[in-house]
Amino acid sequence: MEAVATEAVPEAMSAFQYLLVYNSISFTFAAMAAATIFLWFGRSEVAPPYRTALVISGLVTAIAAYHYFRIFQSWEAAFLFENGIVSNTGYAFNDAYRYVDWLLTVPLLLIELVLVMRLSREETVSKATRLGVAAALMVILGYPGEIADSNGTRALWGFLSTIPFAYIVYELFSGLSRAIETQPPQVRSLLKQARLLTFASWGFYPIVYMAPFAGLDGPTANTTIQIGYTIADLVAKVGLGILIYIIAIRKSEIEMGKTTTAQA
């Protein structure tokens, strides 16, 4: 009798799980909004060639702040939290906000990385285009898997999405390596850190995506995925933004230092 009852009633989310996601999303909204203000104000502190990189970094966190606000609203609409008990309201939590956010921010993140290097115009355009297209493909191919009910479908789209992902990783470590070698020695290690931060945080998304394959399901899988993506977003967007800011400041100092010496 009891086994039948537990099978029929969907497993409820615990108050801890509900509040963990609720607070993480709320915190991330604040962090993204604060980063936007910081990056946009920082624009006037760097030399003109690096200003676009900071504007785009702030645009990434601004777009993310908006989507975290919507994700927060969707979380509140999907669950009712009363007297310590969480129940479903019947409204589905909307995963599309994350994917629409990624579709816009992932290509922009790669572009900000390329822009701060200040390569030739042709190289900037060709790298930004190839990386941008691969990033968009990766996100588009991942979405049908994210919303699929069956693990088989999830695995298939996840695999397809990994192909452009692998291409991006290849570009980061082969194509960009040559570009990094042309940079002033003082910023090479910072640029390598920015690349490593991108690789490590981006690599976290497919791992989080695989939560259902690790035997997690129901509210536990949902909580793990929400928290995992939220942490990765903070590192990939705010963390990278701050590194780009530091690189832009350093390169501005180097280049302005050069002009002064030349004039003296």
Ligand X SMILES: *C/C=C(C)/C=C/C=C(C)/C=C/C1=C(C)CCCC1(C)C
Task: Give the bridge partners for 82, in sequence order.
Answer: 85
Which residue stretch of 24-32, 75-83, 199-207, 218-226 sits at the interface with ligand X (rule: CB under 6 A)? 199-207
Residue choice 50, 72, 202, 245 for contact with ligand X (CB under 6 A): 202
Q: Which helix (H) or strand (E) holds 88?
A: strand 85-88
Residue choice 236, 238, 247, 248 for contact with ligand X (CB under 6 A): 236
CB of 234 to ligand X, least distance (A): 9
CB of 165 to ligand X, least distance (A): 4
What distance in Å separates the CA atoms of residue 118 and residue 59, rounded to the nearest whole number? 19
Residue 207 burial (C-beta neighbours within 10 Å; 0-12, 13-18, 19+): exposed
Q: Which is nearer to ligand X, 53 or 109 (CB)?
A: 109
Q: Which is nearer to ligand X, 112 or 183 (CB)?
A: 112
Q: How many residues bind ligand X (CB under 6 A)?
A: 18
DSSP state, residue 171: I
Alpha helical stretches, state H, 79-184? 96-115, 121-146, 151-170, 176-181
Q: Which is nearer to ligand X, 15 or 207 (CB)?
A: 207
The pair of three-digit structure tokens given for residue 261, joined into one six-digit string: 């010496």
What distance in Å separates the CA atoms of residue 130 and residue 106, rounded to the nearest whole number? 13
End-to-end CA distance of the chain: 90
Q: Convert residues 71-90 into a mask of x (bound to ligand X by CB under 6 A) and - (unbound).
A: --------------------
Which residue stretch of 8-16, 71-79, 188-196, 232-240 sits at the interface with ligand X (rule: CB under 6 A)? 232-240
What distance in Å separates the CA atoms of residue 31 and residue 103, rounded to the nearest whole number? 20
Decide: is 187 part of the binding site for ligand X (CB under 6 A): no
The pair of three-digit structure tokens given for residue 243, joined into one six-digit string: 């590194």
Helix axes 185-209, 240-263, angle to 10 degrees: 170
Residue choice 49, 144, 206, 228 for contact with ligand X (CB under 6 A): 206
Decide: is 237 part of the binding site for ligand X (CB under 6 A): yes
Decide: is 68 part of the binding site for ligand X (CB under 6 A): no
Decide: is 106 part of the binding site for ligand X (CB under 6 A): yes
Decide: is 239 part of the binding site for ligand X (CB under 6 A): no
Residue with tokens 């509210």: 219
Contact footprint for ligand X (CB under 6 A): 102, 105-106, 109, 138-139, 142, 158, 161-162, 165, 202, 205-206, 209, 233, 236-237
